[in-house]
Chains A and B, each alone.
Chain A
């Protein structure tokens, strides 16, 4: 896979962006779908190796993240801490396997890093942590804080007259935290146009379906009522995701929320739409089945 070898900073240069024009789009979409498949394998393997972690929400988020990193996010794999990179704030930090998988597929992390997930001294901490992992922009783990952090990144970028964007991924259950709406209010007030939120709308939280625990309702409508521009997308349709990210990247509107409708555990049949796999790792038998399905 050529994409695995390329720096995404290079991929996202204007010349390479021409690949998206005409028939080239189809080729790139297939590459990204392949990358997502490899990320899914990483996710099930590392959670199995750790005997812990959150595969369900990682599998629901991974297509979105591959589409974002593979299309418009300005990120240099050879220099993950490049000052003027776009920021990706993984607010739903328990989906850390998705973050580590994509960093692995881009060549920032090694396979052995992934297999050390959640063990003492590993760069792959249980929840994403900017102190431990190069290429990670936020120390998450406590839900509801990432949008505020992203707003801070966006305001700093504006003060620096930088064009860099800030992307924040929220879980839908996470929007039950009041701080998310404090940040939503402030982002609109401060006209943070380069701030973009993606909500992984997989409808399941830790204990059960959201409709049982605490249904949030129409999240897009709520962001809209806070003055945000809102788009909705199928969070597993790579072509649709790339199209929406490219259109948002070129626009100055915002702040913008993209509600990505997803399936928890997507890609592994026995995990799909199952609350049990929010925070449970596959055992060895389950890993074998998952690997067969993903091969």
Chain B
């Protein structure tokens, strides 16, 4: 891959994608008083007649979106990740059960959200949406990949949940490499034989930092941007389990049920190799700066390095 440059927040990619999707007259946008934050505001400015303001009423938003989808529209509904969870049952019963094509975007996901504190830091959204049958679950890392994957959602037949993040991170993709992105296919950013690091969202950048540090110790890492948590790219898991023999997961999310959980489920049945999980260890966050919070809960490249060394040791002992 060519070397990407600059930085971008995934939520900005979502906002840009909606503008590209506007060419399809079926596309409508729903907001719950957070359009300026989720970045659906740009669509609203240009297409007010195709934007529905629901106010601070997420449960209503999910079912209004479902009704529109049943009438031939393709709704993109966004709010903060944590507030989508308020409408979990509406998503489960009103959208996913009838298989309606509603695309939900939860922005400001994870500890990374920072000083708003624990009430705003969703650390379980990927887990709860992953448990809903036939639901596609995405968590891209930067603005460029978010834009590309959001545009691809138009071709998806069922519902989806995408988490975006608030702050800018280093870009992992550029205008050329973005064309390799596919929903359902993990993106291999680096290949190495000693350990495979599966990461998503803001932790992809940390995974690459970790790989760089580990290479100085002679450890060769594979780094995967696992932007699609569900459906899981099982072919890639099978290939990398043979090649590397141990996995590390890295996510700004609880280690229960998210990317790490998905890997563990697959591995326990298909390839019982060592796994170390970097994520939020069954605790809530708190207020603080994004970086200091990430350090506080162990979401750092250093944690990924430690996990990688540990799981390579476990592999070698076995």
A binding-site residues for B, Cβ under 8 Å: 83, 87, 89, 129-131, 137-139, 141-142, 144-146, 148-157, 159-160, 178-179, 182-183, 185-186, 189-190
A83-B72 in contact given A131-B98, A179-B60, A182-B60 (Cβ < 8 Å): yes
Which of B65, B93, B98, B99 is A152 in contact with, Cβ under 8 Å? B65
Q: Which chain B residue lies CB-closest to A91?
A: B63
Question: Which B residues are in CB contact (< 8 Å) with A144?
Answer: 59
Q: In the assembled complex, which residues on chain A have CB atoms less than 8 Å from the CB atom of B97?
A: 129, 131, 139
Contacting residues, chain B, for A146 (C-beta < 8 A):
63
Q: Give chain A nearest CB distance to B78 CB in angstroms.
A: 16
**In the complex, are the beta carbons of B89 and A142 less than 8 A apart?**
yes
Q: Is the interface of B mostly helix, strand, loop or mixed?
A: helix
Complex Cα–Cα for A152 and B57 (A): 14
Q: Tell which of A139, A157, A178, A183 touches B98, judged by Cβ atoms closer than 8 Å.
A: A139
Give the segment of B46-54, B105-113, B195-203, B306-314 that binds chain A: B46-54
Can you add 18 more A-B contacts, CB < 8 Å, to A144-B59, A152-B70?
A83-B72, A89-B67, A129-B97, A141-B93, A142-B94, A145-B94, A149-B63, A149-B64, A151-B67, A152-B66, A153-B70, A155-B67, A155-B68, A156-B28, A159-B28, A159-B49, A182-B55, A183-B64
**Shortest Cβ distance from residue B91 to the other chain A in the assembled complex, whole angstroms:** 11
Contact present for A152 and B71 (CB under 8 Å):
yes
A50 to B: closest C-beta gap in Å: 21
CA distance A157 to B98 in the complex (A): 20
Chain B 80-108, CB-CB to A under 8 Å as 1, else 0, gives 00000000011001100111000000000
Minimum distance in angstroms from A145 CB to a CB of chain B: 5
Instruction: Please provide the chain B residues from 28 to 78 with a CB less than 8 Å away from any CB of chain A in the complex.
Output: 28, 49-50, 52-55, 57, 59-60, 62-73, 75
8 Å CB contact of A153 from B49, B57, B67:
B67
Give me 15 A-to-B residue pairs in the complex whose CB atoms sit less than 8 angstroms apart, sorted by A's number: A83-B72, A131-B97, A142-B94, A148-B63, A151-B60, A152-B65, A152-B66, A152-B68, A152-B75, A153-B71, A156-B67, A179-B60, A182-B60, A186-B54, A186-B57
Hey, which chain A residues are within 8 Å of B66, CB to CB? 148-149, 152
Q: Which 9 A-B pairs have the closest CB atoms?
A: A152-B67, A148-B63, A156-B71, A182-B60, A182-B57, A149-B67, A152-B64, A139-B98, A152-B68
Task: Please provide the chain B residues from 93 to 137 with a CB less than 8 Å away from any CB of chain A in the complex.
Answer: 93-94, 97-99
Chain A: minimal CB distance from B128 (Å): 16
B71 and chain A: residue at smallest CB distance: A156
Question: Which residues of the other chain, B, contact A142 by a CB distance below 8 angstroms?
Answer: 89, 93-94
A152 pairs with B63, CB closer than 8 A = yes
Q: Are A150 and B55 in contact (CB under 8 A)?
A: no
